[in-house]
Amino acid sequence: MEPHPSLSVLVPVYNEVATVRALLSRVRAVPIPKEIIVVDDCSTDGTREAVEALRAEVGDTPENRLVLLVHEQNRGKGAAVRTGVARVTGDIVIIQDADLEYDPAEYPRLIQPIRDGHADVVFGSRFAGSPRRVLFFWHTVANRLLTLLSNMCTNLNLTDMETCYKVFRADILKQIPIRSNRFGLEPELTAKVAHLRCRIYEMPIAYYGRQYAEGKKVGWKDALSAVWTILRFAAMPDLGRTDEGFTTLRRIEALRRYNSFLWDLIRPYVGRRVLEVGSGTGVMTRYLSTRERLVATDLDPLYLEFLRRVYADRPNVEVRALDLDRLAEDGLPPRSFDTIVCANVLEHIGDDGRALRAMRDLLTPGGRIVLIIPALRVLYGEIDRSIGHYRRYSRREIEEKLGVAGLRVEHVSYFNTLGVPGWFLNARLLRRRSVPGVQARLHDRLVPLLRVERRFRPPFGMSLLAVGQNTE
């Protein structure tokens, strides 16, 4: 039988002396090798002593290793989980409350989608059909309303966002910066796995809820905190990356009208076997993935993980690291592609002529390089510098560079004249390091005007579409 992956069970606990020993016994009874990380959040009722006594009684075995961490001040469930995550050594992590509302016997079912390679995160849903104790109507209404609001902000279709049972691939949970100290943890984790584009599954679970007289701690203040957390992380993804390049990509990713417009520009030149150089977070990848074969590439590990998660189940899509500065050395066989798409990447390369020649060598005879590049040197400013642009191009310059690289110039045209004033204002006059999100979204609303603009072939614009064909 295939061995189970190593499992870590995080148990944040605060004043649960009545149930903690029984809960840990049930966790230990699950026939999966595991570490159990208990984080005592400054309990005052003897919980810590109960855990220490159990650890002394049962000891550690290869199947069950019990770790006790202690907060000297009460900081909340989110803070306890944050402390526990730092000590995780397993491949899969499950969060387990100590109040007996959730049954550890369900671990094997919950981790199965991750073991099978179908999921990155699994939510255990109390509202998906399994047995549950009948309790408070208005508590259920609040849960469903919070889940609805969360779904509206994340574009997920969860049935139970507030569930305790959230199971993660450990590498994903470790990269999430947890800011919430209390029960805002649940909506925060939900928002961030959505922003990380994790493959999320739901599994029905049984629920043995408690009444407040039995020690239930969540109240109306926590519901208000959850609403604030949902809205906060909808507006600010907060994935631990603050560099301008990442911020810019995330803002561009949200411009659905503009990205659809870009796809309409390049689509006539895209063939069946495509190499995308510098896929980033996948703005163009979503369109290119409909082709017969797509190799999506980047250098940034976070972007590569985004892409691998999104396209894990697409047999026609390969995701791999690729350095455009060293394209000739990266192992791709020559004449492998009929199209290379390079959208807003060439300007990041020091020796762009060498990169164009290397891309040409990967093309079949008649194949095309499709470029979207920034234009107008007068616009070069602080935003360009902060996101790593070496240059902005003129039409004549890119035509010459395509020719020197051995490519026939098939098409070159300017577009997006409407964006010129905003870029000049932000990059040159105000010296901002990234385009403000509000301005970017307003520009997205003007896309119908960009489509009209294309009919008149403007003599200048903020960007250039350039297509070179391999005539060898």
What local confidence, expressed as pLDDT, does residue 458 receive? 92
Q: What are phi and psi of 53, to 5 degrees?
A: -65, -40
Q: What is the DSSP string of 20-42?
A: HHHHHHHHHHSSS-EEEEEEE-S
Q: Which two tokens stand for residue 87?
A: 């000590």
Amino acid 64 reads N
What local confidence, expressed as pLDDT, does residue 131 receive? 62
- For residue 139, give the nearest of 157, 151, 127 by alpha carbon: 127
What local confidence, expressed as pLDDT, does residue 327 receive? 72
Class of residue 428 by CB neighbours under 10 A (exposed 0-12, middle 13-18, buried 19+): middle
Distance separating alpha carbons of residues 111 and 92, to the nearest angstrom:
8
* pLDDT < 70 positions in the chain: 1-5, 129-136, 138, 210-220, 328
pTM strictly above 0.85: no
What local confidence, expressed as pLDDT, does residue 328 receive? 65
The neighbour count for residue 158, using CB atoms within 10 Å, is 20
Contacts of 346 (CB under 8 A, 6+ apart): 324, 352, 355, 356, 371, 373
In order of their start, the domains of the chain are 7-235 (3.90.550.10), 244-470 (3.40.50.150)
Is 449 strand, coil or helix? helix
* Per-residue model confidence as pLDDT tens digits over 195-241: 988 999 999 998 887 554 444 555 667 788 889 999 999 888 888 88
Cα–Cα distances (Å) from 464 to 251, 266, 267, 348, in that order, read: 20, 11, 15, 15
The neighbour count for residue 345, using CB atoms within 10 Å, is 21
What local confidence, expressed as pLDDT, does residue 135 receive? 58
